[in-house]
Amino acid sequence: MSQEKKWEPLKKVGIIGVPFEKGQKKYGVSVAPAALRYAGLIQQLSEIDGLDVKDYGDIETPGIEEVKMENMAHLAPVSACNKKLSKRVSEVLRDDRVVVTIGGDHSIGVGTVDGHYQVNNDMILIWVDAHADINTNKTSDSGSVHGMPVALLVKEFCSYWPYLPTMDWQGTLVSLRSVDHYERLAIEKYKIPTFAMEDVEEHGIKKSIEHVLKKLDPENKRPIHVSFDIDSLDALEAPSTGTPVRGGLSLREAINLMEIIYATGRLRAVDLVEINPAIGDESDRKKTIEAGLCVLKAALGFSRRGTAPRGVIDLPVQDPDAQ
Ligand SMILES: NC(=[NH2+])NCCC[C@H](N)C(=O)O
Ligand SMILES: [Mn+2]
Ligand SMILES: [Mn+2]
């Protein structure tokens, strides 16, 4: 479908909130969609030059009965939420909008990627995260599904799961600096392309992301999905998150990464997950939410240079008759 198409940034976006936190153990990450809306999410995105923003509301899955699954907490609500989310993501994409999903914890990446894959099965995935999120219930120390979504999605892992559909897309992990032993083994076994912080160190963020894009899609023809975990940022830049790790991306690097991806014209889905407004004090919360908004704006065409008013060609002059 996308082969002959000339890519240009879509100037329409659809927002989905996912107040879901059962993929991990801490209270508060489900409050993020409300906190971001309250901080001006819709308004700030609407101020981006020419951007049409539609809010598709929140995904809610109350009262799902739990099922037992070894070392995999809250599997039933996690999968119910992801099923609903997947449908909504597909709907937004079919409305010809870039889909922006605000989590929630990172277990919701299963639903966003699945929903995107249903519409664009040639998509590529860029998972920006301090963690690899590629545990299975056999390797995870925490039993939390937010540490497993990548393993739930890729077909190479299907033999490790008793069920669940898996996908054929190509993906890469960027910004890694907290990888569990078995995760490293899995990455090496399946040669999952990864960019750890050492690589960002060596090549800089611009070269790193350009390399990733070239590797996953040498012909520049595939739709892009970015799943952005706020903990990819240094914990000093984004302290209000459940599993913070120091030594991460600066906000400037993350903004630059998103600007480069925006400029391809092929970005079709962005997830922003793991902001937990209940962690830290007022200043931590503010910093983290602001960082999330900056990252989203960069992904959707906000220019740090500024933009002149539309249709206006000269500066206002003083009216000579005015007193
Ligand atoms: N999405 C996240 N923040 N994931 C953190 C995962 C931490 C750890 N590797 C685990 O599996 O439990
Ligand atoms: Mn994550
Ligand atoms: Mn993470």
**For the chain, domain boundaries:** 12-299
The token pair at 316 is: 């206002």
> Worst-scoring range by mean pLDDT, 21-30, 183-192, 234-243, 253-262?
183-192
pLDDT of 296 above 60: yes
Q: What is the pLDDT of residue 163?
A: 64
Any atom of ligand 1 within 6 Å of the Cβ of 137: no
Are 240 and 251 spatial neighbours (Cβ–Cβ below 8 Å)? no
Any atom of ligand 1 within 6 Å of the Cβ of 243: yes
In this structure, which residue's CA is closest to atom 5 in ligand 1? 147
Test site for ligand 1: of 243, 245, 288, most ligand atoms within 8 A of the Cβ? 243
Ligand 1 atom with the shortest distance to the CA of 146: 1
Ligand 1 atom with the shortest distance to the CA of 135: 11
Are 130 and 170 spatial neighbours (Cβ–Cβ below 8 Å)? no
Q: DSSP labels for 243-302?
A: S--SS-B-HHHHHHHHHHHHHTT-EEEEEEE---TTSS-HHHHHHHHHHHHHHHHHHTT-
Q: Name which residue leads in pLDDT, 259 or 157.
A: 259
Between CA 76 and CA 82 the distance in angstroms is: 10
- Expressed in angstroms and rounded, the spacing between residue 54 Cα and the centre of ligand 3 is 28
Are 50 and 309 spatial neighbours (Cβ–Cβ below 8 Å)? no
Provide, rounded to the nearest whole percent, the portion of the chain with pLDDT above 70.
97
pLDDT in tens, 138-150: 999 999 999 999 9
What mean pLDDT, rounded, does the chain reach? 94
Name the pLDDT band for 200 (thresholds 50, 70, 90). very high
Mean pLDDT of 51-59: 98
Complex prediction ipTM: 0.97
Edge-first strand order for the sheet with 224-229 is 52-58, 12-18, 98-103, 267-273, 224-229, 124-128, 170-176, 194-196
pLDDT in tens, 64-98: 999 999 999 999 999 999 999 999 999 999 999 99
Classify 20 as helix, strand or coil: coil
Which residues are documented as binding site?
106, 129, 131, 133, 229, 231
Any atom of ligand 1 within 6 Å of the Cβ of 177: no
Any atom of ligand 1 within 6 Å of the Cβ of 166: no
Between CA 76 and CA 69 the distance in angstroms is: 9
Name the pLDDT band for 164 (thresholds 50, 70, 90). low
Domain spanning 12-299: CATH 3.40.30.10: no
Q: Beta-carbon neighbour count of residue 259 at 10 Å?
A: 18
Strand partners, 227: 127, 271
Closest CA to 74 of 101, 46, 104, 98: 104
In this structure, which residue's CA is closest to atom 11 in ligand 1? 147
